[in-house]
Amino acid sequence: MLVITVISWLKGIAPFKGFDSGPVAQQIIEPSKEKLQELSALSDLQSEFIDRFFKDSGIFTIEINTNPVFTSLVRDYFEIIYSGGIAEVINREI
């Protein structure tokens, strides 16, 4: 559940190229918003953005940033949501 929460938050404040986070998400007030948007803009691939997010954002502790299971799930689900929407992830989890 934490994985989907992180992805939803990240997609809302720093959507990757071509993803429309919608008008409500665009109003989110987040102190790290500008930095995360910069990391997104610097990345050519979604996986690169997620790697930068964990390496350079300073959002999470080293234990979370270096946990291969957690970071892999975030990377995988991020790409699924980008291409197929949240319903695709929900269908896989049910």
Task: Domain ranges for the chain, please list them.
Answer: 2-93
DSSP H or E run through 76: helix 68-84
Q: Count CB-CB contacts under 10 A for residue 51.
A: 15
Long-range contacts of 84-88 (CB under 8 A, 24+ apart): 86/4, 86/8
CA-nearest of 82, 7, 20, 81 to 92 is 81
Q: What is the pLDDT of residues 36-92, one digit of tens each?
A: 999 999 999 999 999 999 999 999 999 999 999 999 999 999 998 888 887 887 887
Please state the pTM of the whole predicted model.
0.83
Only one residue has tokens 């957690």, namely 70
